[in-house]
Amino acid sequence: MTDLKQQKNKKTNSVKADLNIIVMPEEFKIKPPKKNNKKLFIIGGIVFVMIMVLVIVVAILLNSSTKTPVVPVETPTTPEKPVETPTTPTPTSTEPVETPSTGTLFPVESTSTSVSNLPTPPEIPIGSLITGTDSDGDGLTDKEEAIFQTSFRTPDTDGDSFYDGNEVFNLYNPAAHAPTTMLESGIVKLYKNTQNNYEVFYPAVWTSGEDKNSGDTLFLSEDTEKITIAVRETISSISLRSWYKTEFPDSDINKLQTYTSKNGYSGLQDEARLNTYIKEGDKVFIISYDLADKQTVWYRAVYGMILNSLKIN
């Protein structure tokens, strides 16, 4: 064995001697650049610190996220449509509260015996017209007092506390307590027109007639004055004012006055209240006081009585 080892060593030594290896001296070897360990250490420290900080931050964040459960913030859901809450009006104390009227709806007929109880005749228009003499101032001229058999010196002939003129205007008998109506008393007559289906009262001492040319009805006084009733056909849909404008284009329609009779017929009257127009259906009734070119009006109460007694069937 020792011989074998010795032989081996001899061999290696002989190889070494044969190769003659030249080894570069250490000073000529390219040394790796010396690392700046201090710098690296600082950088590494900074990086380490940063990492640590990062880790701590992440840890804190994770910790906080795990500790506080994420509660969904309940935001009030706004409804798609705004709910309209009914606004209850608050009653204001200043607003007047409508209380059902406890008053009487219809005028109660007074039981008083005042002379102003009945409707008064239309006022006599001021102008060129002259009113006939009314000695006792009861609304009837002296000529009318004769017609209705009353005293031209006593305003209330029958002493029932109603003036003679008022009674005539409202179709009552002014001459006596009974009979109370003019027709029953016989001081007026009933005129019936079958052609145009109407009727009126007229003074019993007057005469009724017909105009031969126009066919109009005439009520003739004992002098020249008369009252006429004319009936004209028209269209039902046309108003009375429109009819008047067509018939009397030169007249001022604004001067017409409204009129309502005792029996409820509404119409129009001219300014002097001597022409009255009442439209019923397709007919216009024209009731006129004809002064016969005179200026004195003696029969205004008669005219009012005829108008109030008109009945259209």
Query: Rounded to the nearest whole angstrom, what is the least distance from the CB of residue 141 to Ca ion in the complex?
Result: 6
* Min CB(120)–Ca ion separation in Å: 14
Q: Is residue 168 a contact residue for Ca ion (CB under 5 A)?
A: no
Among 121, 138, 148, 270, binds Ca ion (CB under 5 A): 138
Residue (of 113, 306, 112, 288) closest to 202 by Cα position: 306
- Does residue 206 bind Ca ion (CB under 5 A)? no
Cα(172)–Cα(175) distance, integer angstroms: 9
Beta bridge pairs of residue 286: 230, 277
Distance CA(168)–CA(172), nearest Å, equals 6
Q: Identify which range of 125-133, 160-168, 191-199, 247-255 contacts Ca ion by CB under 5 A.
A: 160-168
158 binds Ca ion (CB under 5 A): yes
Cβ 198 to Ca ion, closest distance in Å?
Answer: 29
Size of the site for Ca ion (CB under 5 A): 8
State which residue, 162 or 299, has the beta carbon closest to Ca ion: 162
Q: Is 146 in the site for Ca ion (CB under 5 A)?
A: no
Where are any strands of DSSP class E within 118-181? 130-131
> Three-class SS string for 250-284?
CCCHHHCEEEECCCCCEEEECCCCCEEEEEECCEE
Amino acid at 279: K
What is the smallest separation between the CB atom of 288 and Ca ion, expressed in angstroms? 24
Which residues contact Ca ion by CB under 5 A? 134, 136, 138, 140, 156, 158, 160, 162
